[in-house]
């Protein structure tokens, strides 16, 4: 600093490089009982971590090396694309925005993704405000898959897997779906399941575009879930969505009206879930020749009503975690 031509003070400054974030797994990935993937992770950045995610790539040898041109029409673009589906992305929530040190846990159900059950390479990635990205060491794992027990559901999933791994197997998959529905539709008592399988068969026969095949893959997943568990999977997804929406509203200190709306959505979603769960358990008990058992390990609608009323008076930290604790499955 100079005053009147004379130096009155001076400082020596050193530029500190803004380095990319660092991120790594704190524990080995865990597959939850229903197939969700749980990750525990830590991240560091000199100025704060802005976002983080888990990225996946197929391990070598999980897809055919080249299309085999089995009965694929010249106009179709099936043989030109491989793999048919891109990787899932798993967002990793940060406890605080732009925290310099982060330790967190994330759980996500990836069982509906076509790569479920395949060998993948997972890499964690963290991004800072300067858009610099740091990644972890690659971690090989088998992406958790849902376990199906009913023969028809297992057969449908097997054909879905064949179509995912090699879209050139389309003609064989179509024939298999046709065989599953041969004869009167009374063989498959659920009319929705029967019509869904017939629709998938006709789609594969009459529209071999990529969009059509992707639609069939998604349709076969929904059909297998309905065969296995009736209406329960959709009710469970709706419950998780309502739970996450309420948690987000509480975390962001949303207005009272919005929180009230999210509470009512959660109440309705839990009611539908409990009804679907009871229907499934009654069916399983009937098949086993046993009377239905009372479940005292889940939240009842009456219990939920009491907790929803008390949430308005709960301290802020408790309010943020309450939906996760009360609706844990």
Phi, psi of 26 (to 5 degrees): -95, -30
Q: In the chain, how many domains are there?
A: 3
* Residue matched to tokens 């929180």: 259
Confidence of residue 5 (pLDDT cuts 50, 70, 90): confident
Instruction: Quote the CA–CA distance of 225 and 327 in Å, as a whole number.
Output: 21
170 and 254 co-located in one domain: no
133 and 186 co-located in one domain: no
Classify residue 295: in a domain, yes or no. Answer: yes
243 and 270 co-located in one domain: yes
CA dihedral 231, 235, 238, 239 (to 10 degrees): -170
pTM of the predicted model as reported, rounded to 2 decimal places: 0.66
Full DSSP string of 231-249: THHHHHHHHHHHHHHHHHH
Contact (CB, 8 A) for 153 and 193: no
Domain end marker among 187, 206, 229: 229
252 and 308 co-located in one domain: yes
Which residues lie closer than 8 Å to 130 by C-beta, 6 or more apart? 18, 47
26 and 137 co-located in one domain: yes
Report the DSSP beta bridge partners of residue 123.
Answer: 55
Report the DSSP beta bridge partners of residue 160.
Answer: none
Classify residue 48: in a domain, yes or no. Answer: yes
Instruction: Quote the CA–CA distance of 52 and 21 in Å, as a whole number.
Output: 10
Q: For residues 329 and 294, which has the higher predicted lDDT (pLDDT)?
A: 294
29 and 122 co-located in one domain: yes
72 and 93 co-located in one domain: yes
Share of the chain above pLDDT 70, in %: 76
Neighbours of 116 (CB within 10 A): 22
- Alpha-carbon Rg for the chain, nearest whole angstrom, is 26
Render pLDDT for 82-116 as a digit per residue (tens, 0 to 9). Answer: 567 889 989 998 877 788 898 999 999 999 999 99
Confidence of residue 283 (pLDDT cuts 50, 70, 90): low
How far from chain centre, in Å, is Cα 11? 54
126 and 155 co-located in one domain: no
172 and 282 co-located in one domain: no
Classify residue 130: in a domain, yes or no. Answer: yes
Domain end marker among 202, 229, 256: 229
Render pLDDT for 219-269 as a digit per residue (tens, 0 to 9). Answer: 999 999 989 887 777 778 788 888 888 888 887 888 888 988 988 888 888
Classify residue 1: in a domain, yes or no. Answer: no
Phi, psi of 32 (to 5 degrees): -75, 165
247 and 221 co-located in one domain: no
SS3 58: strand
Domain end marker among 109, 142, 175: 142
Neighbours of 107 (CB within 10 A): 13
Report the DSSP beta bridge partners of residue 37.
Answer: 31, 108
Instruction: Quote the CA–CA distance of 268 and 258 in Å, as a whole number.
Output: 15
35 and 66 co-located in one domain: yes
Q: Report whether pLDDT(153) > 60.
A: yes
- Among 323, 305, 299, CA closest to 250: 323
Give the range of the structural domain holding residue 242, as residue numbers without chain letter. 232-326
121 and 35 co-located in one domain: yes
For residue 103, what is the domain's CATH number? 2.60.40.10
Pairing of strands 101-108, 37-44: antiparallel
Q: Report whether pLDDT(71) > 50.
A: no
Instruction: Quote the CA–CA distance of 145 and 36 in Å, as a whole number.
Output: 8
Confidence of residue 270 (pLDDT cuts 50, 70, 90): confident
């Amino acid at each position: 600093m100079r005053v009147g031509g004379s130096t009155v003070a001076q400082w020596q400054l050193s530029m500190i490089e803004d380095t990319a974030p660092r991120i790594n797994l704190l524990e080995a990935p865990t597959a939850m009982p229903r197939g969700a993937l749980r990750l525990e992770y830590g991240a560091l950045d000199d100025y704060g971590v802005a976002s983080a995610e888990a990225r996946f790539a197929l391990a070598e040898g999980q897809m055919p090396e080249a299309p085999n041109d089995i009965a694929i029409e010249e106009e179709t673009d099936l043989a030109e694309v491989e793999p048919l589906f891109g990787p899932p992305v798993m967002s990793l929530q940060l406890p605080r925005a732009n925290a310099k040190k982060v330790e967190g846990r994330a759980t996500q159900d990836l069982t509906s993704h076509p790569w479920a059950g395949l060998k993948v390479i997972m890499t964690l990635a963290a991004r800072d405000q300067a858009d610099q990205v740091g990644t972890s060491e690659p971690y090989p794992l088998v992406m958790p898959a849902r376990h199906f027990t009913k023969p028809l559901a297992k057969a449908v999933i097997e054909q879905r897997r064949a179509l995912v791994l090699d879209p050139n197997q389309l003609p064989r998959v179509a024939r298999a779906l046709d065989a599953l529905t041969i004869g009167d539709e009374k063989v498959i008592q659920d009319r929705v399941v029967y019509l869904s399988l017939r629709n998938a068969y006709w789609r594969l026969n009459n529209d071999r575009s990529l969009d059509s095949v992707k639609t069939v893959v998604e349709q076969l997943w929904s059909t297998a879930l309905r065969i296995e568990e009736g209406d329960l999977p959709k009710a469970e997804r709706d419950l998780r969505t309502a739970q996450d929406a309420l948690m987000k509203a509480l975390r962001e200190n949303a207005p009272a009206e919005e929180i009230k709306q999210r509470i009512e959505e959660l109440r309705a979603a839990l009611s539908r879930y409990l009804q679907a769960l009871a229907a499934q358990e009654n069916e399983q008990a009937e098949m086993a020749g046993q009377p239905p058992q009372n479940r005292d390990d889940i939240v009842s609608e009456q219990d939920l009503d009491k907790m929803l009323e008390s949430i308005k008076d709960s301290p802020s930290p408790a309010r943020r975690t309450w939906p996760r604790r009360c609706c844990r499955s």
